[in-house]
Chain A
Amino acid sequence: MKGKKVVMDAEGIDRSLTRIAYEILEENKGTENIVLVGIQKGGVFLAKRLGRKIAGMEGDEVPLGILDITLYRDDIMTRDRKPKMGKTDIPFSLDHKTVILVDDVLFTGRTIRAAMDALMDFGRPKLIQVAVLIDRGHRELPIMANYVGRSLPSSLWEEISVNLTEKADADEVIIEIC
């Protein structure tokens, strides 16, 4: 473990999420037909936090789903070790909805690509928008995020992790040199 740096602390994360929530409401002119879908594992808690913020701002509960994209990965057949599958639960129709896909880090874009394929199997959303806490660049597919907490240019031998108190000791975003 060479160098471990905290680039965003609890306050920073909270402010970013608040801004993203306002941006979502501004862009979509309110909460009508919006649903939040958190991508396993990093996006689920963030989606729940965004949901609570939006409820606090507009007074409306936005439907929340969770999506595991393991089965849609493009590298699933070439991996020796298959990753542990998480739960998928989207208990509402996606037809005609604006789906906000939420993830913690946007990197190559392959996760979002897989998530979009999965959403198409659930129905036909009217709009798909992407909200991420960190965009670290190095896209391999033409994918972009509509809402970004912070852009963090990084090199390929750095690892960026988002820790949240729901699972970890503190809210923080960490860069680590491998």
Chain B
Amino acid sequence: MKLVLKGGRVIDPSQSIDSEMDVIIEKGRISGIERDFPQKESGTGVRIIDCRGMLVVPGLIDMHTHLREPGFEYKETVKTGSDAALAGGFTSIACMANTDPVNDNRSVTEFILRQARAADGVHVFPVAAVSRNLEGAVLTEFTDLLDAGAVALSDDGKPIVHSGLMRNALEYAHSLGLPLMSHCEDPGLSTGGHMNESLVSTELGLPGIPAIAEDIMVLRDIAIAEYTKISLHIAHVSTAGSVRAVRDAKARGVAITAETAPHYFSLTDEALAEYSTNCKVYPPLRTADDAEAVKEGLKDGTLDAIASDHAPHSSIEKDVEFEYAATGMIGLETSLALSYALVHTGILTERQLVEKMSTNPAAILRIPKGTLQTGVDADVTLIDPGRTWTVDTSLFRSKSRNSPFQGWKLKGKAVMTIVSGKIKYDER
């Protein structure tokens, strides 16, 4: 049975393809990209999907999500997270280790992969913890975790404060070929804070987290990467200072990669004026200047990837006083559309968007994805760039509803998601 995606604009940066082509899928793999696949072959073991007006791109990869299983299944499970990802156009997601128990040992990694197989949805790539129980004191067993199926390491949710531990972790991970993703936060400056420190936090009477809480640790990590000559990935960049630091580091030849999340270029700290807990996130929403710097960083290549940092929380954690609310917002089902707005406003080209959401995440995680080369697993996303829709979280496939984008009118949507050659989401 052949599946032909016909007549769409195929954009695959890994092969420098950007033109109207037909993508042919056979036995779960890409068997070729051609021009003018004969229409009359339809019906004879061939299914043709009309992709005119759409973008056909390598399956999108969200390299930063929280699936909450094991331990917090009431917020999300691997299955519901996978469903949400498919609806958002993703074929692969990487999930962080701050579950309960923490993914700091092989049994949790294997459990997550087992749940992913049972869900039969997107490809799930576990990111295991750097330190035991995320305590930042003792390293986990990297070899064992790699063997169990972890693709990368991160203590995300918490920073690695001890610089010596960070250096050791980076060197050890590198020797095993494991990328390390850093959550940059100086707790000495951030503890007690609930939102960005600015006039807005002063007016709201909420303790603030200054931008330097992030900048300081970004600079520290860059220094360690430079000294050890080892590549390091910076998670969820939110400040102008961080963007500048990464830009300068790259200019010096330091092997740094960095990601940002859609909320950092779609919202500012002014969104918190009504104490809306769905806007409470770490790193916090920053000022308009920071948002502009993030967009500039995406445009000039300083920031390599867009990752949602999908962080489900239930009403129990969110329908409370702002200070007591948990931080985080869901993002799998809005990430593409919010990022596509950057194309609509001329900040990114379509090709650059695909790089940020597919090509580069694959390269950073060192997984064989993000491409439509002949022979690879057929992970493909169909995007309708003109589709307008209104965000209605009650229709979301995620178990949680904590999105600040409820009611937003967006333009651009993934209308079909194909994983390993199977159509797992179709909203055409």
- A/B touching: CB–CB < 8 A: no
